[in-house]
């Protein structure tokens, strides 16, 4: 069976040709970007920092170009050509998604931040290993050509620190979401499918957890984990085993412990409604096992709202983690994080000439959160325009 059965052979040829060309374009742009990155790095290494600023702009420009082609390409693939010939949910999804400018912006920023985080050691113009070292002549300098964001009170380059801060933020946001969503899906399926006392118990647990403000609950758990030597030791050991610094891992555990309620509620509710659908009966009448019914029918029909919620909650967890470090409870001071930088900024918030310390880490933080929020919203509208908004 040909895949694009409604295209005539000539049309198919044109289409394949088009696809090949677009592929070549995107490949070429990709090569240019890699080349520029390598060049930048090489210049940085051989000639110090002197000419790197110009190259940095070239790098950014190349990246934007790359992203533009990337988006344009997918857009073409999934809307213009295919849409006319076959109505497919995936294609309609892309069509709707790209109409939402805010969501495209969110996708752009989210991917950018992820790239910045992954390649932070390569992209950061300065070394941040000992960024806590003593006062130097660069301390608290405002933005200059070499230090585009200025420097911290220890004289470390703020731009480099902001890049590194993305790593910890994304680790928290995505990691906690992944764990929370997995637990939530399992518990939601169990509660929704089996009902009875298991459901009542989980529902009760959910009600209790929901009676706390999330941040307050996390702070309390962290307080307990930090105060109890035995607990702290054992959690730190697991952290060491996973090669994560102790205090950081404690914060991670505290967040993950209660991050399941959102996905749990969504899945449970969805199971209850999907369970009533006749295709579940149809599967049963074919002798489908519980496992098949759960995964193939119920889960597949419940994933849309979970994906949306996951995307939005990534932002929420990034804020929570930043709040913890801001309060001095989260990541170890030795690890560069936006929350930590902002708590430094807070110490100088009444002195305007040190405003860069407040402004730039906060902008990074807000843009990242905004990206995941708008991305989630765009996904929701594109995946299922009739989906009710469950704002809570």
| 290 is an interface residue for other proteins by CB under 8 A | no
Nearer to other proteins, 244 or 283 (CB): 283
* Residue from 246, 242, 220 nearest 327 by CA: 220
Nearer to other proteins, 243 or 392 (CB): 392
CA end-to-end span of the chain, whole Å?
47
Out of 21, 25, 84, 300, the only residue in the binding site for other proteins (CB under 8 A) is 300
Residues 212-251 that bind other proteins (CB under 8 A): 212-217, 219-225, 227-228, 231
Shortest CB 137 distance to other proteins, Å:
25
Residues 192-211 that bind other proteins (CB under 8 A): 204-205, 207-208, 211
| 84 is an interface residue for other proteins by CB under 8 A | no
Pattern 92-131, other proteins, x by CB under 8 A: ----------x-----------------------------
Residues 339-368 that bind other proteins (CB under 8 A): 342, 345-346, 349-352, 355, 358, 362, 365-366
Out of 167, 265, 297, 340, the only residue in the binding site for other proteins (CB under 8 A) is 297
C-alpha distances out from residue 289 to 21, 187, 256, 294, 303, Å: 47, 19, 31, 9, 20
Out of 158, 319, 331, 382, the only residue in the binding site for other proteins (CB under 8 A) is 319
Out of 5, 8, 241, 385, the only residue in the binding site for other proteins (CB under 8 A) is 5
Shortest CB 173 distance to other proteins, Å:
12
| 58 is an interface residue for other proteins by CB under 8 A | no
Out of 166, 193, 374, 383, the only residue in the binding site for other proteins (CB under 8 A) is 374
């Amino acid at each position: 069976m040909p895949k694009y059965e409604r295209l005539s052979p000539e049309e198919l040829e044109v289409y394949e040709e088009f696809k090949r060309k677009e592929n070549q374009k995107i490949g070429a742009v990709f090569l240019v970007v890699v080349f520029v990155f390598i060049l930048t790095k090489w210049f940085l290494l051989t000639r110090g920092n002197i000419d790197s600023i110009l190259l940095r702009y070239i790098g950014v420009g190349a990246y934007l170009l790359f992203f533009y082609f990337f988006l344009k390409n997918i857009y073409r693939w999934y809307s213009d050509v295919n849409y006319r010939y076959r109505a497919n949910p995936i294609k309609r999804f892309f069509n709707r998604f790209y109409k939402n400018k805010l969501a495209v912006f969110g996708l752009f920023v989210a991917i950018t931040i992820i790239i910045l985080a992954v390649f932070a050691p390569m992209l950061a113009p300065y070394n941040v290993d000992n960024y806590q070292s003593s006062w130097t002549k660069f301390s608290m300098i405002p933005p200059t050509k070499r230090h585009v964001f200025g420097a911290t009170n220890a004289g470390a380059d703020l731009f480099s620190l902001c890049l590194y801060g993305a790593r910890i933020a994304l680790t928290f946001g995505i990691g906690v979401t992944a764990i929370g969503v997995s637990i939530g899906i399992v518990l939601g399926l169990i509660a929704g499918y089996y009902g009875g006392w298991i459901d009542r118990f989980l529902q009760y647990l959910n009600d209790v957890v929901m009676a706390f403000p999330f941040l307050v609950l996390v702070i309390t758990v962290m307080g307990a984990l930090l105060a109890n030597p035995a607990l702290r030791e054992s959690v730190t050991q697991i952290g060491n085993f996973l090669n994560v610094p102790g205090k950081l891992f404690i914060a991670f555990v505290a967040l993950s412990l209660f991050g399941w309620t959102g996905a749990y509620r969504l899945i449970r509710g969805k199971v209850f409604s999907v369970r009533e659908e006749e295709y579940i009966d149809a599967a049963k009448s074919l002798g489908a096992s519980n496992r098949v019914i759960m995964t193939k029918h119920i889960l597949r029909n419940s994933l849309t709202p979970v994906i949306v919620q996951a995307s939005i909650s990534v932002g929420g967890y990034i804020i929570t983690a930043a709040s913890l470090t801001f309060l001095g409870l989260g990541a170890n001071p030795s690890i560069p994080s936006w929350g930590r930088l902002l708590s430094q900024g807070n110490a100088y918030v009444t002195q305007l000439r040190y405003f860069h310390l407040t402004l730039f880490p906060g902008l990074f933080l807000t843009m990242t959160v905004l990206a995941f929020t708008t991305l989630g919203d765009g996904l929701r509208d594109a995946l299922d325009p009739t989906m009710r908004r469950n704002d809570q």
